[in-house]
Amino acid sequence: MLEVTRTIRTLESPDHGLGLAGRLAHGVTADYLGRPPQSPEFHFGCNLLPDPPYPMPSRIRHDIETLDGWLACGQDLHLFLKVGVRSLRTHPAPDPAGFDDPTRLVYYLLRTDAMSLVWRARVVHPTASVAAWTLAADLLAGRAGPDDLTSDASEAVLVSVTVDRADTTLFACAPYDGTEDDILVSTATGSAMDDVALPLRTLLHAQHEWTTACFGTPPPGNTALAQAIQDLSTAEATAGAPVDALAQALRRLAEPEPAPAPAPAPE
């Protein structure tokens, strides 16, 4: 769990006028410029909503390999998300006693407030060419399907959908070989977006409920963990480098307790 501090990314990307969720959407999309994912990738947005347990808005890539599950679902995104929700709903929250103190501290302080899904898509710009205009018309009329999107009339892009527990839904996209300046982020609406955003939000809520049930409160009677939480609530810890402060707290928790001093020898 000490390694998690190397994967935490604070939200320093442009927000596109959309707050912390905008920073999250931009940042996760930028991660894949020039290297589109082979299967849908998930990222958690932590402490984005008001009254966070630790004042460090951040993002963490979900480190579970998704390729096997993606292939098992026939590369059907909607089914893939439904299977993920079902897995979390049917998997009971584990006993917190089975986790060490650093793990408990991280899960307690990094509240799951948002989730982003990054994937590949093809888009059609109807005004780009006659072929694109025709393809757009055929798609709207139901005369074209996914196989037709491989033509020169469409463009391969990275896309991300970001949802949070306050019902924000954002859509971001950029060309495969684009730069961060090419990333567009906007609020997302429409039935096609709902097909992704609704199950993704259900997955987010399931993840939040699962972690809250297990790690939502510090374990009673654990003085070392209580002291770490108290130390991290000080102004010194949160003002300059919250990731470093968290790393130091995790390191202290991972250190073995010093052996008690030997009793003095009887005279």
Phi, psi dihedrals of residue 227, rounded to the nearest 5° = -70, -40
Answer whether residue 73 is part of any domain. Answer: yes
Tokens coding 235: 């102004």
- 45 closest CA partner among 80, 81, 9: 9
Answer whether residue 172 is part of any domain. Answer: yes
Tokens coding 249: 């707290």
Answer whether residue 225 is part of any domain. Answer: yes
- Number of domains, the chain: 1
- Higher-pLDDT residue of 48 and 220 is 48
Answer whether residue 106 is part of any domain. Answer: yes
- For residue range 230-246, what is the model confidence (pLDDT) as tens digits? 777 765 555 567 777 77
Answer whether residue 263 is part of any domain. Answer: no
To 5 degrees, how large is the angle CA 151–CA 155–CA 157? 135
- For residue range 109-164, what is the model confidence (pLDDT) as tens digits? 888 999 999 988 877 777 777 777 787 787 777 787 767 776 677 778 899 999 99
Answer whether residue 26 is part of any domain. Answer: yes
How many of the other CB atoms lie within 10 Å of CB of 136? 18
Give the model's pLDDT for residue 260. Answer: 55
- For residue range 200-211, what is the model confidence (pLDDT) as tens digits? 999 899 888 888
Counting residues of the chain whose pLDDT is more than 90, the rounded percentage is 24
Beta-strand runs (E) in the chain: 9-10, 41-46, 58-61, 112-124, 154-164, 169-175, 184-187
- 130 closest CA partner among 138, 141, 120, 122: 138
Answer whether residue 267 is part of any domain. Answer: no
Answer whether residue 183 is part of any domain. Answer: yes
Contact between residue 111 and residue 47 where contact means Cβ atoms under 8 Å apart: yes
Of the ranges 28-42, 108-122, 161-175, 235-249, which one carries the lowest mean pLDDT score?
Answer: 235-249
Domain of 187, in residue numbers = 4-254
- For residue range 49-87, what is the model confidence (pLDDT) as tens digits? 998 888 889 998 886 666 777 788 887 888 888 888 887
H or E element, residue 23:
helix 19-30
- 188 closest CA partner among 178, 201, 177, 179: 201
CA dihedral in degrees (3, 52, 62, 245; nearest 10)? -10
163: exposed, middle or buried (Cβ count in 10 Å: 0-12, 13-18, 19+)? buried
